């Protein structure tokens, strides 16, 4: 098989399996390598002509290593705030974009805030679905979902109507991401990742974003939307046999209780959320003294990166 830097023939063999043996890549492998799911890759092809694969006689999409590099270039431009509709021209011309005060992320953020203020589920649905069809989950989380949560936290400080907006947003996010996790789980094999809301906040959302990112990377997940009492955490591990445990909290923790709560848990444990910043020094000391398998990750993006580094995504087991 050709190496990563070898060029492939202009057109693949007509037979699908011969093309794979010659070094061409199917769409599922491109998704695995780049983190861009097949739905988004097909949207980039149909709507924007960004990545146009070769096709076998039976219509199978096949990609070269050069096209893998082009996918990475597309992601680079999106990370810089360039609208997806303008990326093809930049790639073809190999030039920097003209300065612009308007960012597609700012527009999406304003529209999302407006939909939440109006408690408009349909508008929020359409905005999210449209963005997810052209942006990978990791990019969308970094540039829309996390900034949106930051804006909402600031906006909800003592504002009339904040409880209504908070309940609406949490219910929408849990329903939207929960349905995606359900369908993704049915397509995945292996031990799940167990994510638990470890705070006392009934509308915690960070663990749902963690679950979405892990699921989008090909990992089966199970989500528990509230803290477990001491003893039942080990019971959950015993029954679910997860590849790793992620505890998310944006609140301060009862640190003296943590070692006892985690007693009996096997394998990697990730503690995530603002609790990591609140207790960082004490958590480092706990890890050195009694919790060697504890890993710290402040944000959902950090959780995904740590899981990837630990080899726990896309079928990885503890």
Per-domain residue ranges for the chain?
16-93, 102-184, 188-318
Superfamily of domain 188-318: Cobalamin-binding domain (3.40.50.280)
Is pLDDT of 51 > 50? Answer: yes
The predicted-structure confidence for 57-90, as pLDDT tens digits, reads as follows 778 888 988 888 888 888 888 877 787 888 888 8
The predicted-structure confidence for 95-135, as pLDDT tens digits, reads as follows 555 545 557 888 899 999 999 999 999 999 999 999 998 89
Q: What does the block give as tokens for 11?
A: 């057109």
On the 0-12 / 13-18 / 19+ scale of CB atoms within 10 A, 161 is exposed
> Which is more confident, 305 or 229?
305
CB 49 within 8 A of CB 69: no
The predicted-structure confidence for 284-315, as pLDDT tens digits, reads as follows 998 888 888 899 999 999 999 999 999 998 65
CATH 1.20.120 fits 102-184, yes or no: no
pLDDT of residue 195: 95
Contacts of 38 (CB under 8 A, 6+ apart): 27, 28, 31
Average pLDDT over residues 33-54: 87
CATH 3.40.50.620 fits 16-93, yes or no: no
Q: What does the block give as tokens for 99?
A: 């300065």
The predicted-structure confidence for 166-180, as pLDDT tens digits, reads as follows 999 999 999 999 999
- Quick one: pLDDT band at residue 213, thresholds 50, 70, 90? very high
């Amino acid at each position: 098989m050709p190496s990563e830097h070898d060029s492939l023939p202009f057109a693949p063999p007509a037979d699908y399996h011969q093309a794979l043996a010659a070094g061409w890549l199917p769409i599922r492998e491109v998704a695995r390598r780049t983190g861009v799911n097949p739905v988004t890759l097909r949207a980039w092809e149909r709507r924007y002509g960004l990545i146009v694969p070769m096709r076998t006689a039976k219509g199978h999409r096949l990609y070269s290593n050069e096209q893998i590099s082009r996918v990475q270039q597309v992601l680079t431009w999106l990370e810089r705030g360039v609208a997806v509709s303008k990326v093809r021209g930049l790639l073809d011309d190999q030039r920097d974009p003209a300065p612009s005060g308007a960012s597609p992320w700012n527009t999406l953020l304003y529209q999302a805030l407006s939909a939440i203020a109006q408690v408009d589920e349909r508008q929020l649905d359409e905005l999210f679905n449209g963005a997810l069809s052209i942006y990978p989950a990791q990019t969308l989380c970094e540039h829309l979902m996390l900034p949106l949560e930051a804006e909402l936290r600031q906006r909800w400080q003592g504002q009339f109507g904040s409880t209504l907006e908070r309940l609406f947003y949490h219910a929408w996010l849990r329903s939207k991401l929960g349905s995606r996790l359900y369908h993704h789980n049915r397509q995945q094999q292996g031990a799940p990742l167990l994510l638990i809301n470890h705070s006392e906040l009934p509308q915690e959302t960070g663990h749902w974003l963690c679950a979405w990112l892990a699921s989008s990377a090909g990992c089966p997940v199970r989500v528990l939307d509230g803290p477990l009492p001491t003893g039942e955490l080990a019971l959950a591990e015993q029954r679910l046999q997860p590849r790793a445990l992620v505890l998310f909290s944006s609140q301060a923790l009862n640190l003296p209780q943590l070692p006892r709560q985690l007693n009996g848990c096997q394998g990697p444990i990730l503690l995530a959320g603002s609790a990591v910043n609140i207790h960082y020094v004490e958590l480092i000391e706990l890890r050195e003294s009694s919790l060697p398998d504890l890993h710290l990750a402040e944000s959902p993006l950090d959780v995904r990166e740590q899981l990837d580094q630990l080899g726990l995504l896309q079928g990885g087991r503890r």
